[in-house]
């Protein structure tokens, strides 16, 4: 297991260098360089332009530039943003990254959890009328033109029903004169949620180990959910920055749900077909012959094995969630890296755009690694060899 992971890590690192090289190549393939944008400006003499080229290292041979780029990236240096001069690319990205990660994580977790449950259920109750409706809905969600879907969601829930704020991350009027910094508060929210998640996972493991009967396990699980979620809500309810936190949370709901819904459709369909394949296996027949209750066959025998292909698809849907995240952020004016990327591209802020692309690559790689780890945890065959 550890050797497997170590090998995977090395592979990932290599892949990332290749990815970074492609980003660099993309930068090189662009016609001209930054100093060319100053050609038309009569206030800037030729000498200044050449000095600029020299200072930026653009007069050096290509391989030197390449090595400088790669090493600088690993030192956290991605250059200076053109459009947000004099801010560093890494600083700008760092400011926007938490929001993207939260959007990305919550939407993925929500979609996979719900998609797996519902896919399992519709595969189990195969042939019903509701199955057709679920499949149709799932396919619709998977193929719907996502920006349009986001606009419609925003219009229905934000404008027509008015349940959620239409866009942005915070309500500027509320935050005027607030003693808190939105970014700091948001980071605290993330930390507290992470803490609660860890407590929950540990609790689940402990329950599994020490619960003696099935009903006791179910009771304890319910209690755990109540304690963790209730504790989190209570903590923030008693927190002095209550209204501000509620404002952030209120703004987060609609983008997360919109992105999650689309991923949900794909996961549900995939779980369904994976379940159908496992339901045809001999061990399901054996389980039935043993007289096990339906729920046990469904959850312990079929769904556990159907989880493997779904986990594999997690990798594929990662790319989708990253792409969908950009659309979500742009439609909902959610100030994350996706919106930043679009803004950078619109004003040809190439260092920033390339930096975000590289960071997105890191995100995809980490997601890939997590899916791999999950796979090894789920599949005992890999764990042993």
Partner 1 sequence: MTLGEPTQVQQEEPQPVGIEPSDSAAAAELVRTPMWRVRLRLFRRSFARNWALFRENKMGMFGLVLIGIFALMAIIHPILMSTVWDPKVYDPVTGYDAVLTEYEVVEEVTDPTTQIEVSEARIKLNPTIKVGDTVRIPAQPAPPTWTGENPHYLGTDPQGRDILSQLLYSTRAAFFLGAVAALTTVIIATTVGSVAAYFGGWIDGGLMRFADLILLMPLLPLLIVMSAAFDINMVMLGVLIGILNGFGGVAIVLKSQALSIKVKAYIDAAKVAGGGDWHVIFRHIVPNVLPLSFLYMMFGVTEAIAIEATLSFFGLLNVPMTWGVMINTAQANGYLLSGTQYWWLLFPAGLAVTFLAFAFFIVGRGMDEVINPRLRAR
- Window of 84-92, 137-145, 233-241, 283-291 that interacts with partner 1 by CB under 8 A: 137-145
Nearer to partner 1, 228 or 361 (CB): 361
Min dist CB 340 to partner 1, Å, is 11
* Residues in a beta bridge with 150: none
Check binding of 166 to partner 1 (CB under 8 A): yes
Check binding of 210 to partner 1 (CB under 8 A): no
Check binding of 322 to partner 1 (CB under 8 A): yes
Q: Which residues contact 75 (CB under 8 A, 6 or more apart)?
A: none
Cα separation values, 207 from 220, 298, 377, Å: 7, 21, 18
Residue 127 burial (10 A CB sphere; 0-12, 13-18, 19+): exposed
Check binding of 113 to partner 1 (CB under 8 A): no
Min dist CB 140 to partner 1, Å, is 6
**Which of helix, strand or coil describes residue 227?**
helix
| Of 154, 189, 270, 340, the one binding partner 1 by CB under 8 A | 154
Task: Name the phi and psi angles at 80, rounded to 5.
Answer: -110, 135
- C-alpha span between 152 and 159 (Å, rounded): 10
- Window of 60-68, 158-166, 242-250, 297-305 that interacts with partner 1 by CB under 8 A: 158-166
Check binding of 128 to partner 1 (CB under 8 A): no
Give exposure, 39-50, as e/b (b: 16+ Cβ within 10 Å).
Answer: eeeeeeeeeebe
Nearer to partner 1, 206 or 316 (CB): 316
Nearer to partner 1, 185 or 357 (CB): 357
Spatial contact of 263 and 112, defined as CB atoms under 8 Å apart: yes
Min dist CB 142 to partner 1, Å, is 7
Min dist CB 81 to partner 1, Å, is 14
The site string for partner 1 over 247-286 (x = CB under 8 A, - otherwise) reads --------------------------x--xx--x------
Check binding of 18 to partner 1 (CB under 8 A): yes
- C-alpha span between 198 and 195 (Å, rounded): 5
- Window of 82-90, 111-119, 176-184, 353-361 that interacts with partner 1 by CB under 8 A: 353-361
Check binding of 21 to partner 1 (CB under 8 A): no
Check binding of 136 to partner 1 (CB under 8 A): yes
Min dist CB 180 to partner 1, Å, is 30
Q: What is the CA radius of gyration of the chain?
A: 25
Q: Residue 254, Cβ neighbours under 10 Å: how many?
A: 23
Rounded-to-5 percentages of helix, strand, coil across the chain: 80, 0, 20
# residues contacting partner 1 (CB under 8 A): 62
- C-alpha span between 367 and 314 (Å, rounded): 8
Min dist CB 34 to partner 1, Å, is 13
Check binding of 315 to partner 1 (CB under 8 A): yes
Biggest alpha carbon distance in the chain? 87
Cα separation values, 382 from 10, 216, 375, 385, Å: 18, 32, 8, 6
Q: Which residues contact 157 (CB under 8 A, 6 or more apart)?
A: 163, 164, 254
Min dist CB 70 to partner 1, Å, is 16
* Residues in a beta bridge with 360: none
Check binding of 361 to partner 1 (CB under 8 A): yes
Check binding of 139 to partner 1 (CB under 8 A): yes
Sites of contact with partner 1 (CB under 8 A): 15, 18-19, 22-23, 26-27, 29-30, 126-127, 135-136, 139-140, 142-149, 151-152, 154-156, 158-160, 166, 273, 276-277, 280, 315-316, 319, 322-323, 326-327, 330, 338, 341-342, 344-346, 348, 350, 353-354, 356-357, 360-361, 363-365, 368
């Amino acid at each position: 297991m550890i050797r497997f992971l170590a090998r995977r890590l090395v592979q990932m690192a290599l892949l990332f260098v290749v990815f970074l090289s492609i980003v660099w190549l993309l930068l090189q393939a662009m016609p001209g360089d930054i100093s060319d944008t100053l050609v038309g400006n009569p206030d800037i003499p030729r000498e200044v332009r050449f000095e600029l080229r020299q200072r930026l290292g653009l007069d050096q041979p290509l391989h030197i530039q390449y090595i400088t780029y790669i090493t600088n990236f690993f030192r956290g240096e991605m250059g200076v943003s053109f459009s947000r001069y004099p801010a560093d690319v890494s600083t700008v990205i760092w400011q926007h990254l938490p929001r993207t990660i939260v959007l990305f994580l919550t939407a993925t977790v929500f979609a996979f959890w719900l998609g797996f449950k519902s896919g399992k259920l519709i595969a189990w109750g195969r042939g019903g009328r509701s199955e057709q409706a679920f499949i149709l809905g799932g396919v619709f969600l998977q193929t719907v033109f996502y920006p349009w879907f986001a606009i419609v969601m925003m219009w229905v829930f934000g404008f027509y029903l008015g349940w959620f704020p239409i866009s942005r991350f915070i309500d500027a009027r509320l935050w005027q004169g607030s003693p808190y910094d939105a970014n700091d508060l948001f980071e605290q929210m993330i930390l507290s949620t992470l803490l609660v998640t860890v407590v929950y996972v540990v609790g689940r493991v402990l329950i599994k180990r020490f619960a003696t009967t099935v009903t006791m396990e179910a009771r304890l699980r319910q209690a755990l959910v109540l304690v963790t979620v209730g504790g989190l809500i209570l903590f923030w309810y008693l927190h002095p920055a209550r209204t501000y936190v509620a404002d952030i949370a209120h703004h987060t709901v609609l983008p997360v749900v919109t992105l999650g819904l689309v991923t949900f459709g794909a996961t549900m369909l995939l779980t369904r077909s994976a379940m159908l394949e496992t339901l045809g296996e001999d061990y399901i027949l054996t389980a039935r012959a043993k007289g096990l209750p339906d729920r046990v066959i469904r959850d312990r025998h079929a769904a556990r094995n159907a989880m493997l292909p779904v986990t594999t698809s997690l990798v594929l849907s990662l790319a989708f969630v990253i792409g969908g995240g950009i659309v979500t952020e742009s439609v909902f004016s959610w100030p994350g890296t996706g919106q930043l990327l679009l803004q950078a591209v619109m004003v040809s802020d190439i260092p920033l755009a390339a930096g975000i692309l590289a960071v997105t690559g890191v995100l995809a790689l980490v997601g890939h690694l997590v899916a791999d780890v999950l796979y090894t945890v789920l599949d005992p065959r890999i764990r042993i060899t």
